Amino acid sequence: MRIALAQINPLVGDLAGNGELLLTACRSAAASGADLVVAPELALWGYPPRDLLLRPALQAQQQQQLDRLAAELPPGLKLLVGVSEGAADRQQPDLYNSAALVQRGEWCIVARKQLLPSYDVFDERRYFRSGAQPCLLELDCGGRLWRLGITICEDLWVEEKLQHQRLLGSDPIGDLQALQPDLLLNLSASPFGEGKAQLRRELAAAAARRLSCPVVYVNQVGGNDELVFDGGSFVIDQAGSVPLQLAFARSDLALWEPDHPRPASAAALPQRDELLLRALVLGVEDYARKCGFRSALLGLSGGIDSALVAVIATAALGPANVQALLMPSPWSSTGSIVDAEALASRLGIATSTVPIEALMHGFETSLTPTLGAPPSGLAAENLQSRIRGTLLMALANQQGQLLLSTGNKSELAVGYCTLYGDMNGGLAVIGDLYKTSVFRLCAWLDAPASAACRRALGLPAAGELIGAAIRQKPPSAELRPDQQDSDSLPDYGTLDPLLKALLEEHQSPEELIQKGVDAALAERVMTLLRRAEFKRRQAPPVLKLSQRAFGSGWRMPIAAL
């Protein structure tokens, strides 16, 4: 039996388009001699479909697409694909997250997902019921009856020692042990997270050992809103070796023959920073493409955050489709302007410059009669940011561009950002990267180790990309003379570990204090985090990279103690 792993990039809700992607993959697989194609979880819908699942018209479209696949699938080929399945009664929720087997002339449901995640960005219990039994599919192929265990995404995530926790419910892997499958197939839609590619391998290897059979893991790829699915599908055997590894961050199709296994090796995963960069590039590329944008705009300040976003946007959309706007004020250093222009030159992106001093004076003149004095302090600083935000929005509107916000996670966490100013945009590209992570990723980008990745992404491969002048510059918003971020915030090397403990590890200030953190510092950071919630509620979507990002997985009240 030849199994094709179809790592596709669906558009959420485009059942006809996704059906065409599947059909194209099946035709390619059949031409290569495949007997069975395995596609990701909910591949006809794209994951996560969220409330689109509630639309009867789309459920009817799914039926039509399954019928079409059954009519047009190459003879002799079978397709295992993730679908939604309606329940027979009227109790809610009235769907199952299921897998269908499609072959020429017919299709049928063969598996139901048992463990339904309703944590972080997931909310499957809003739509689905749990399957009640293990799923084993018997297929006659090549004169042999193959016993295929089928699990769907979370059903594989049952190893508490590896995960440090697991979802309450059944053990789909343990339940399959008595059925003695020849292979385990897992249909997944698992979003990118730092360290997650290795964890998936470890979970699949644990399942392979428990079931004494190889595991075929097929993951969705592509950016869908704030989530980035990194693909990286693979086959792993009982010894933990990986005879087949598909690409990360792009669509892919590959065949594997369990009857004639290739020499197995522990295929190395790309290093952490390469995976991170590729995920960010894919997130921007797909967000723009799937939302109908062909080009992007960003404000370029000469600082490290906007420099990194410019690199990501250039890799995602191409230099001809990225424009940067420089908006110097009286407080902008000459070095910042020079550094921004030099970066744009290295990337090959177009720039325009609009000084904002005259606009600042215009606001002062208009507001002075009402205020009794010119705006000062924080109000004056925020006016500069809002002037820049207005200019960026005007250009983006006029030119039909996607405006990219350049703020990082540290700033979003403590509110060191301005509503209707630097927070303006359609996508917060690095809003889930702490400032220290921005520095780390930029250092890697400028190192020789990144050359192959840069070349593959269409970026200049030789020499520095961000540039030492930008990387070594003390962070500053440049909204007043000689301003530095450290005037208002703890050093990022101190701040970021505290933020990670509060945001991702759910620790309290009291717990941090017990571990030796200065009490005033712990309470101050927690107060800043809490008070900035109203800003984050109005921020653009943030590409999710960490265990807990600001967005659909962050559900904190605004008015709270």
Decide: 326 and 476 in contact? Cβ < 8 Å: no
| 243 contacts: CB under 8 Å, gap ≥ 6 | 235, 237, 256, 261, 262, 263, 264, 265
Retrieve residue 168's tokens. 């309450």
| 475 contacts: CB under 8 Å, gap ≥ 6 | 303, 304, 435, 484, 485, 486, 492
State residue 92 phi and psi, 5-degree precision.
Answer: -105, 145
| 202 contacts: CB under 8 Å, gap ≥ 6 | 159, 162
Q: How far apart are CA 316 and CA 12, in angstroms?
A: 20
Taking CA atoms, 54 is separated from 106, 152, 183, 266, in Å, by 25, 21, 34, 43
Compute how many other C-beta atoms are within 10 angstroms of the C-beta atom of residue 73: 23
Query: How many helices (H) does the chain have, and how many strands (E)?
Result: 18, 20
| 291 contacts: CB under 8 Å, gap ≥ 6 | 402, 426
Q: How far apart are CA 138 and CA 1, in angstroms?
A: 13
Task: Give the three-state DSSP class for 119.
Answer: coil
Catalytically annotated residue among 26, 78, 135, 153: 153
Q: Is 161 a catalytic residue?
A: no
Q: How far apart are CA 186 and CA 217, in angstroms?
A: 5
Q: How far apart are CA 106 and CA 299, in angstroms?
A: 54
Q: Is 274 a catalytic residue?
A: no
Catalytically annotated residue among 78, 85, 113, 453: 113
Task: Give the three-state DSSP class for 351.
Answer: strand
223: left (phi over 0), alpha (psi -120 to 50) or beta: beta
Q: How far apart are CA 354 and CA 480, in angstroms?
A: 18
DSSP of 260-324 = SPPPP--PPPPPHHHHHHHHHHHHHHHHHHHTT-S-EEEE--SSHHHHHHHHHHHHHH-GGGEEE
Taking the mean position of all CA atoms in its chain, how far away is CA 231? 11
Q: Is 153 a catalytic residue?
A: yes
Q: How far apart are CA 83 and CA 14, in angstroms?
A: 13
Beta bridge partners of residue 298, listed in sequence order = 324
Task: Give the three-state DSSP class for 113.
Answer: coil
Catalytically annotated residue among 26, 41, 135, 435: 41
Catalytic positions: 41, 113, 153
